[in-house]
Chains A and B, each alone.
Chain A
Amino acid sequence: MKITELFQRGEFPITAEVGPPKGFHIEHLMDEVNTYLKDNVTAVNVTDNQSSVMRLGSLATCKAFKDEGLTPIFQLTCRDRNRIALQSDILSAALFGIENLLLLTGDHTTLGDNPQSKPVFDLDSVSLIHMVKTLEQGFDLAGNPLDGEPPKFAKGAVVSACSDSVDVQLAKMEAKVKAGAEYFQTQAVYEPEKFMRFMEKAKQFGVPVMLGIVIPKNAGMARFMNDNVAGITVPQDMIDELKKDKEKTKAGITGVEISARIIRECKEYCQGVHIMALGWESKVPDILKLAQI
C-alpha cells in the first residue's frame, strides 16, 4: 500500500519511526513493533544510519517488516552512497515489494560514531527525488533504459517547519515538490503556532504534510535539542512542565500529554502525523488515544 493513496482518499495516516539496532539481532525491535505499532499506525518508517551512527541497514529492516505483514517506509540518505548505489538500492527495494520511500540528504558524517568516514553527498535530497522519478520513467540517471516494467513508489521528503530560517526551508520544499516529492513529514514540532504559520505558506505547494512529533522524555532532552538540534525549539513553559513532576515525567506521562496536545492543536492544519518515539515505542498507543486520532 502506498501512503499517497491514503492522502488521496482523504484519510489521515499515522506513521512511526524506528531505528534499526547496532547489530543484526532484530527480535527486540520486532517485538516492540508488533506489540505497540502494528495495530496502531499505518506504516513504520525505518531510519538510514540515523544521525550518522552506523547500524543495521534500513533496506534489510524494511524487508523484515514487510515479511511480518507491516507496511515499511524505506528511508534513504545521500551521505553514504553514490548515485550508482542509491539507484541499485531503489531497485532492490522494488524487488522486495517496498512501495514507500523517504528521501533525505542525511546528517554529516562528522556528527556520528564514525566521524573519520568520507561524506559522499554525490546527490542531495532534491536530486535523489529526481533520481527516483527518473527510474520510475524507466531510465537510470545517465539515461540508460531499465529492463522491464519500471518501479513505482510513494516519494516522501522532509521539511523543517519550525526552522529559524523557514523561508530558506520553504524554497527547498518547493524544489523538492518540483523534483517529484508527493508527501512531506516535518522535523519535530513543539510550537503549534509556528507550525500553523508554516502550513499557511506551504499549502500553496498542494502536497500533504505529516506533523512530526518527537516525544519529549525529560527537561534535559529538551534543553539538549534546543542547543544542538536544528529546526527544534522547545519552549520554556514546556521545559518547566517536564520539570514540574519528575515522577510523572519519568513514567513518560508528561511526554505523552505534551505530544497528544500538540497533535490536537495541529491536526486541522496537517494531513497526517509522524511519531519519532526514539525508543519509547510503548508510548505511541497512549499518545494516539489521548490525541483522539
Chain B
Amino acid sequence: MLITQLKSKDAIAPLVKGKTIIINCHGCKEVYFPEHEAIEMQNELSSNGNVSAVITRDYICNPDNLSLQLKKYLDKIKEADTVLVFSCGVGVQTVAKYLEDIEVYSACDTYPLPGFQGVTPLEFDCGQCGECYLNYTGGVCPITACSKSLINGQCGGSKNGKCEVDKDMDCGWERIYIKLEKLKKLDTLKYPTKIRNYGNPYVE
C-alpha cells in the first residue's frame, strides 16, 4: 500500500506557470489518493486562468496505457508550458519521460504503507520517500535512479555515463543534468543543500 499526499499549496502554486495541464491518476486500489483535497486545490489553482485542462485517468504508470489515454489531449498538451501530475512517484516519472520536452512536476509526496505494493512491473521505481524530489530533478528520481540516492548532485563515481555500482546502469545524475539542460532549466540545480528526513513520516 502507499499513500499519496498533496504537497503544500506554497510548494505547488509556483509550479503553475503559463499554460498548465493537470493530470490526476485514480488507478491502483493499493494507493490512497486524496481526491477531495486534490479537487479543491485544483479549483484554486485554476482560478488564475492558467489551467487549460484537467485530465483524470488511471494507471498512468503504464507507458502504453498513458500514451493511449493522452492521445486526444495531445494538441493541448503540446501547447502547454507545464504539466502538473497528481499521482505516486512512478506516475510522475512516466509522464516526465513521455512528455520529455515539457516541464513535468509532481504535486504529491508518496509515503509507504506496509502491505501489498500494487503491480508496476515497469521501468521506473518510486522510493516512497515522502518528500518527492522530482520537481528539482527534471522528473528523474534521484532516490531510485542513483545507487547512493544522492540528492545534491553527482558523485565522482560515474564513468562514461555509467554508475560505479553497475556498469549497465546509467548515472542517474547525468540523466538529471541532461534532462534539465534539454528543458533549459539547469538553474533548478542551484537549490540550497538538501538533507533527507528519515523521521517517521506519520508523525506530524
Contact = CB atoms under 8 A, between A and B. Distances in A.
Contact of B153 (A158, A171, A230): A171
Interface string A167-181: 111011011001100
B147 A165 contact: no
Nearest to B199: A142
Q: Which of under 10, 10 to 19, 20 to 34, or 35 or more describes the interface residues of A?
A: 35 or more
Contacts of A114: none
Given A165-B177, A167-B177, A229-B159, A111 B189 contact: no
A111 B153 contact: no
B177 A179 contact: no
A155 interface: no
Given A163-B156, A168-B174, 12 more contacts: A107-B164, A121-B148, A123-B195, A124-B152, A130-B193, A141-B195, A167-B177, A172-B152, A174-B190, A175-B153, A179-B193, A228-B159
- The 5 A-B residue pairs with the shortest CB-CB distance, nearest first, are A172-B153, A126-B152, A230-B159, A130-B193, A160-B156
28 contacts: A105-B150, A105-B155, A111-B165, A119-B148, A121-B148, A121-B150, A122-B198, A124-B150, A124-B151, A124-B155, A125-B152, A126-B153, A158-B156, A160-B156, A164-B161, A165-B171, A168-B154, A168-B174, A171-B153, A172-B153, A174-B190, A175-B152, A175-B153, A175-B189, A175-B190, A178-B192, A187-B156, A231-B159
A174 B192 CA distance: 11
B72 interface: no
A45 interface: no
Contacts of B193: 126-127, 129-130, 175, 178-179
B102 to A, nearest CB: 22
Contacts of A169: 154, 156
Contacts of B150: 105, 121, 124
Contacts of B194: 127
A2 interface: no
A123 B151 CA distance: 9
Contact of A163 (B147, B151, B158): B158
In the complex, which of the residues B149, B193, B195, B198 has the most CB atoms of chain A within 10 Å of its own CB atom?
B193
Contacts of A108: 147-148, 157, 164-165
A164 B159 contact: yes
Given A107-B164, A171-B189, A230-B159, A165 B154 contact: yes
A190 B86 CA distance: 49
A158 B148 CA distance: 17
Contacts of A282: none
A141 B186 CA distance: 28
Interface string B137-149: 0000000000111
Contacts of B198: 122
Nearest to B195: A127
In the complex, which of the residues A110, A126, A164, A230 has the most CB atoms of chain B within 10 Å of its own CB atom?
A230
In the complex, which of the residues B151, B195, B198 has the most CB atoms of chain A within 10 Å of its own CB atom?
B195
A213 to B, nearest CB: 16
A137 to B, nearest CB: 14
Given A105-B148, A127-B193, A171-B186, A165 B174 contact: yes
Contact of B148 (A124, A164, A175, A187): A124
